[in-house]
């Protein structure tokens, strides 16, 4: 690892930024190394005689477990569905594992399960297997959920950063940072009111709609931990292309913008739960944009930039002022500032 | 960025065509001054938030080569002395202590290499708060523990912490303490001005500090040192406007303290913030990183509130700690060097594993250069 002095797991290892990346690459990949895993895609792609299967897993530990716009149950379903969907897979079935703390209220559990059921119904997928474990009071924080999912990848669909070409357009399906700011607000009673609401949503319907009528979709990523900034860096790394995005085109709700300005957070690195970034050949950008905007989870879709061929892949942003700055991978956690 | 509904900021604050015209004007003024004096212009943005705003907006590429913007001693974490950081870490190691702090302090390393972050991983109870008032809640919920809030900052942060101490005093909360390590901006300017080798041509003065202390406090910069001053806000156009005003002052040969941030700053500052500071604190000498002790440059608890002083309660003495070898944070905050001049920058020293505080703080010059590319 680059950080030789780090001997223990830090919170920043879970931020989705550079440390998470290094931990996965230098420890997990080193131990488990295989062709499928090493691609580090949102879902693993397994080839079988009857077709390609996408397989993924994700764990949810959000605090608080309920927040404006959703709860842990909704994002546990949507997150896994989205990991399958961005590979071009039709979600087939989900599993759900629950680790609960002694004393956790059954009523709250019931609400979480109802919310999972509703999200699964919306995504058109069933939760077909599961597991429950209970640990002593204090050994876990209320409830942790793990979901896994499988899906079939349509025969003619190949989505991957390696498909990205010079000049491709970069599109997002809506406002950034809503989920992260909402959770931070709820967790710390920051008191930001109004339109700060989690965006947790299953994106498989929207993605299906796009893939069924567009020919030149190169790659899709769902934007979760680490935000848009980190995802773009990962894709730049994997594709070998640079990305130039325009700050003026990045959708941001006013509530989120105010909250980020006050807390000193960069919305490019704040988590989303119902957002994706999509790479498409320039000539098809308008078509994708219109398709997105005609869907309820893509109303605020925008073309935010384009792909460039350069010697060293890098993500840069043209600022509102007309200047340019680098967009790095998230370093550590984002922390609130002093003044 | 596209706002779905905008009720907070003005799009003019970062308008690219306004900026483009402003920079044409700035380039013209700079070359006029340069042709008259033959000297490059070195402005210092004193406040770390300005440093961040400059880097984040990418405006540096518009600056003519004869104009340099240097960071100043206005990042609270960066100016905290190594000894004081070691004292904070010493308190965090005491049994039954809960440390509460703003996030910036978490990763500043003590001279033995540990920071609050690593102490938390080892089991110390350290909590990041958004408001010092939340520390009182933590104190009320943990009566068997001692709750210490890390009081670091300038005149912007000091009033809310003073208010918190006052609440603790009136609420008779006996298990709450602070580390009174507050610093004052005007004495820091004096220290910068006393360096004859590195002349500053003008100051972009901190907006929010000036909201609290007003603008008269800077009169000495103009009267004694004849250096132009502009108090500026934190939007890109505020800073560009401030630079323009400084250049005009140079051309006119009439340095004065001007305010660009008039939508927030009053001549006399914020009287109630000043009053609460006066009630709880007294002016004392303070230790600054790289500068050393400066007389009358800090705030500590006055006699009536002394019992809230964590250093006194836990009997933590002054440490004469050394700054990390080879680290040039001190030079950077004094406007004598740029982050890129440091041999550790971006190599051994990165935000997640920093050697010096300028790489740690969200307002540090090195963090700004690293994150946004200068």
Residue-wise pLDDT for A218-260, tens only, equals 999 999 988 999 999 999 999 999 999 999 999 999 889 888 8
pLDDT at residue A238, as a whole number = 92
Q: Token match 């950081």: residue?
A: B85
Q: Are residues B275 and B359 in the same domain?
A: no
- A153, A171, A202: which is the final residue of a domain? A153
In a domain, B350, yes or no: yes
**Which CATH number fits the domain that encloses residue A196?**
3.90.650.10
In a domain, B301, yes or no: yes
Domain that holds residue B331: 325-372
**Which CATH number fits the domain that encloses residue B257?**
3.40.50.11740
Higher pLDDT, A5 or B53: B53
pLDDT at residue B8, as a whole number = 42
Domain that holds residue A129: 41-153
The alpha carbon of residue A186 is apart from the nearest alpha carbon of chain B, in Å, by 13
Q: What is the dihedral of CA B313, B318, B319, B323, to 10 degrees?
A: 110
Is B180:B151 a contact under the CB 8 Å cutoff? yes
Q: Are residues A149 and A224 in the same domain?
A: no
In a domain, A18, yes or no: no
Provide, as residue numbers in chain B, all residues whose Cβ is less than 8 Å from the Cβ of A248: 1-2
Distances from the Cα of B89 to the Cα of B56, B99, B110, B123, B319, angstroms: 32, 10, 7, 13, 12
The two beta strands, B41-47 and B67-74, are: parallel
Q: Are residues A187 and A271 in the same domain?
A: yes
Nearest to B2 among A18, A248, A319 (CB): A248
pLDDT at residue B7, as a whole number = 38
pLDDT at residue B13 tops 50:
yes
Is B46:B191 a contact under the CB 8 Å cutoff? no
Q: Token match 């005491």: residue?
A: B94
Collapsing DSSP states into helix, strand and coil, what is residue B193? helix
Task: Provide the chain A residues 163-192 that lie in CB contact (below 8 A) with chain B.
Answer: 175, 188, 190
Q: Are residues B275 and B368 in the same domain?
A: no
- B296, B320, B344: which is the final residue of a domain? B320
Q: Token match 């240097």: residue?
A: B70
Distances from the Cα of B232 to the Cα of A197, B225, B260, B286, B291, angstroms: 33, 20, 5, 26, 25
In a domain, A5, yes or no: no
Tell me the whole-structure pTM to 2 decimals.
0.84
- Between A and B, how many CB-CB pairs are < 8 A? 150
Q: For testing the chain A interface, which of B2, B107, B159, B209 should be mutated: the one with the most A CBs within 10 Å?
A: B2
Contact across the interface for B236 and A320, Cβ inside 8 Å: yes
Contact across the interface for B4 and A253, Cβ inside 8 Å: yes
In a domain, B13, yes or no: no
Q: Are residues A107 and A198 in the same domain?
A: no
pLDDT over 90 percentage in chain A? 78
Q: Are residues A125 and A202 in the same domain?
A: no
Q: Are residues A133 and A267 in the same domain?
A: no
In a domain, B23, yes or no: no
Q: Are residues A58 and A76 in the same domain?
A: yes
- The tokens of B222 are what? 């103009």
pLDDT at residue B2 tops 70:
no
Quote the number of domains for chain A: 2
- pLDDT per residue rounded down to tens, chain A (339 residues): 444 557 788 877 887 777 888 899 999 999 999 999 998 888 999 999 989 999 999 999 988 999 999 999 999 999 999 999 999 999 999 999 999 999 999 999 999 999 999 999 999 999 999 999 999 999 999 999 999 999 999 888 999 999 999 999 999 999 999 999 999 888 877 777 767 899 999 999 999 999 999 999 999 999 998 899 999 999 999 999 999 999 999 999 988 988 888 877 889 999 999 999 999 999 999 999 999 999 999 999 999 999 999 999 999 999 998 999 999 887 766 665 555
**Closest alpha carbon within chain A to B359:** A331
In a domain, B36, yes or no: no
Between CA B269 and CA B92 the distance in angstroms is 35
Q: Are residues A145 and A182 in the same domain?
A: no
For A252, other C-beta atoms within 10 Å of its C-beta total 23
A274-295 in b/e form (b: 16+ CB < 10 A) is: bbbbbbbbeebbeebbebbeeb
Is B203:B227 a contact under the CB 8 Å cutoff? yes
Quote the number of domains for chain B: 2
Is B284:B299 a contact under the CB 8 Å cutoff? yes
Q: Are residues A137 and A50 in the same domain?
A: yes
In a domain, A33, yes or no: no
Is B69:B55 a contact under the CB 8 Å cutoff? no
Q: Token match 């991957």: residue?
A: A160
- A137, A153, A169: which is the final residue of a domain? A153
Q: Supply the mean pLDDT for chain B.
A: 92
In a domain, B28, yes or no: no
pLDDT at residue B149, as a whole number = 98
Is A176:A275 a contact under the CB 8 Å cutoff? yes
Contact across the interface for B56 and A325, Cβ inside 8 Å: yes
Q: Are residues B305 and B344 in the same domain?
A: no
Can you tell me the mean pLDDT for B76-94? Answer: 94
pLDDT at residue A332, as a whole number = 66
Q: Are residues B306 and B348 in the same domain?
A: no
Q: Are residues B316 and B199 in the same domain?
A: yes
In a domain, B44, yes or no: no
Residue B58: phi, psi to the nearest 5?
A: 70, 25
Between CA B70 and CA B47 the distance in angstroms is 10
Contact across the interface for B373 and A12, Cβ inside 8 Å: no
pLDDT at residue A222, as a whole number = 94
Q: Are residues A133 and A226 in the same domain?
A: no
Give per-residue pLDDT as tens, B263-281.
999 999 999 999 999 999 9
Between CA B102 and CA A90 the distance in angstroms is 45
Q: Are residues A147 and A180 in the same domain?
A: no
The alpha carbon of residue A26 is apart from the nearest alpha carbon of chain B, in Å, by 17
Q: Supply the mean pLDDT for chain A.
A: 92
- End-to-end Cα separation, chain B, in angstroms: 21
In a domain, B113, yes or no: yes
Q: Are residues B231 and B313 in the same domain?
A: yes
B140 confidence band (pLDDT: 50, 70, 90): very high
Between CA B30 and CA B36 the distance in angstroms is 10
Is A271:A145 a contact under the CB 8 Å cutoff? no
pLDDT over 90 percentage in chain B? 78
Q: Are residues B305 and B340 in the same domain?
A: no
Half-sphere exposure of A129 (CA within 13 A, CB side): 6
In a domain, A337, yes or no: no
pLDDT at residue B4, as a whole number = 46
In a domain, A285, yes or no: yes
Quote the distance between the C-alpha of residue A168 and its chain's center: 21
**E strand residue ranges, A173-216:** none
Between CA A182 and CA A161 the distance in angstroms is 30
Provide, as residue numbers in chain B, all residues whose Cβ is less than 8 Å from the Cβ of A11: 117
In a domain, A6, yes or no: no
Between CA B85 and CA A298 the distance in angstroms is 48
Provide, as residue numbers in chain A, all residues whose Cβ is less than 8 Å from the Cβ of B106: 335
Quote the distance between the C-alpha of residue B327 and its chain's center: 19
Nearest to A254 among B7, B55, B121 (CB): B7
Q: Are residues B296 and B332 in the same domain?
A: no
Name residues whose C-beta falls within 8 Å of residue A86's C-beta, 6 or more positions apart in sequence.
A42, A43, A159, A203, A207, A220, A221, A222, A276
**Which CATH number fits the domain that encloses residue A103?**
3.30.1330.10
Between CA B181 and CA A89 the distance in angstroms is 57
A149 has which bridge partners?
A56, A94
Can you tell me the mean pLDDT for B77-104? Answer: 94
pLDDT at residue B6, as a whole number = 38
pLDDT at residue A1, as a whole number = 41
- The tokens of B195 are what? 């360096």
Is B173:B140 a contact under the CB 8 Å cutoff? yes
Between CA A254 and CA A238 the distance in angstroms is 33
């Amino acid at each position: 690892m680059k950080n030789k002095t780090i001997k223990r797991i830090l919170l920043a290892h879970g931020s989705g930024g550079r440390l998470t990346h290094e931990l996965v690459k230098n420890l997990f990949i080193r131990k488990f190394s295989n062709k499928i895993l090493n691609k580090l895609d949102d879902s693993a792609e397994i080839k079988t005689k009857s077709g390609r299967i996408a397989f993924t897993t994700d764990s949810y530990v959000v605090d608080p477990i309920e927040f404006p716009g959703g709860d842990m149950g909704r994002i546990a379903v949507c997150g896994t569905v989205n990991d399958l969907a961005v590979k071009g897979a039709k979600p087939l079935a989900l599993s759900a594992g629950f680790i609960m703390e002694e004393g956790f209220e059954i009523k709250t559990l019931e609400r979480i399960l109802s919310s999972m059921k509703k999200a699964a119904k919306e995504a058109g997928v069933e939760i077909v297997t599961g597991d429950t474990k209970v640990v002593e009071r204090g050994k876990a924080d209320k409830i942790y959920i793990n979901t896994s999912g499988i899906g079939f990848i349509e025969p003619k669909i190949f989505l991957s950063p390696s498909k990205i070409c010079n000049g491709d357009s970069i599109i997002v399906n809506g406002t950034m940072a809503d989920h992260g700011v909402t959770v931070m607000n709820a967790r710390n009673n920051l008191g930001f009111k109004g339109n700060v609401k989690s965006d947790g949503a299953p994106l498989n319907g929207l993605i299906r709609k796009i893939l069924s009528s567009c020919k030149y979709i190169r790659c899709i990523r769902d934007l979760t931990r680490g935000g848009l900034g980190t995802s773009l860096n990962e894709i730049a790394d994997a594709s070998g292309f640079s990305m130039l995005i325009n700050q003026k085109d990045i959708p941001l709700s006013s509530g989120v913008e105010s909250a980020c300005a006050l807390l000193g957070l960069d919305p490019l690195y704040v988590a989303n739960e119902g957002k994706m970034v999509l790479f498409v050949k320039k000539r098809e950008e308008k078509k994708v944009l219109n398709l997105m905007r005609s869907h309820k989870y893509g109303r605020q879709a925008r073309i935010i930039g384009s792909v460039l061929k350069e010697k060293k892949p890098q993500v840069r942003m043209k600022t509102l002022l007309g200047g340019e700055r680098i967009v790095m991978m998230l370093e550590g956690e984002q922390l609130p500032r002093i003044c | 960025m596209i706002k779905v509904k905008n009720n907070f900021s003005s799009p003019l604050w970062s308008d690219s065509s306004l900026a483009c015209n402003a920079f044409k004007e700035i380039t013209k003024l700079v070359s006029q001054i340069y042709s008259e004096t033959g000297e490059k212009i070195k402005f210092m943005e004193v406040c770390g938030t300005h440093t961040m705003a400059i880097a984040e907006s990418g405006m540096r590429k518009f600056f003519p080569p004869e104009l340099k913007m240097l960071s100043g001693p206005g990042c609270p974490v960066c100016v905290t002395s190594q000894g004081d950081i070691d004292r904070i870490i010493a308190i965090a190691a005491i049994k039954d202590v809960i440390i509460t702090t703003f996030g910036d302090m978490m990763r500043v390393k003590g001279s033995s290499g540990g920071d609050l972050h690593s102490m938390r991983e080892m089991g110390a109870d350290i909590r990041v708060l958004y408001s010092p008032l939340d520390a009182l809640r933590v104190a009320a919920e943990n009566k068997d523990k001692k709750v210490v809030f890390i009081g670091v900052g300038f005149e912007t942060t000091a009033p809310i912490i003073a208010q918190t101490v006052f609440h603790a005093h009136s609420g008779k909360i006996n298990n709450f303490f602070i580390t009174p390590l507050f610093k004052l901006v005007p004495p820091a300017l004096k220290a910068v001005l006393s360096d004859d080798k590195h002349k500053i041509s003008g100051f972009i003065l901190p907006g929010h500090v000036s909201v609290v202390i007003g603008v008269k406090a800077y009169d000495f910069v103009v009267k004694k040192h004849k250096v132009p001053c502009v108090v500026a806000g934190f939007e890109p156009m505020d800073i560009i406007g401030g630079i323009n005003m400084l250049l005009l002052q140079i051309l006119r040969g009439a340095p004065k303290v001007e305010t660009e941030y008039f939508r927030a700053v009053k001549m006399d500052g914020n009287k109630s913030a000043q009053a609460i500071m006066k009630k709880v604190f007294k002016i004392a000498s303070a230790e600054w990183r790289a500068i050393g002790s400066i007389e009358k440059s800090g705030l500590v608890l006055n006699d009536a509130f002394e019992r809230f002083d964590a250093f006194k309660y836990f009997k933590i003495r002054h440490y004469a700690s050394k700054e990390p070898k080879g680290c040039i944070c001190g030079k950077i905050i004094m406007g004598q060097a740029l982050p890129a001049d440091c041999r550790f920058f971006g190599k051994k020293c990165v935000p997640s594993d920093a050697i010096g505080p300028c790489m740690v703080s969200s307002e540090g010059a090195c963090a700004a250069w690293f994150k946004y590319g200068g």
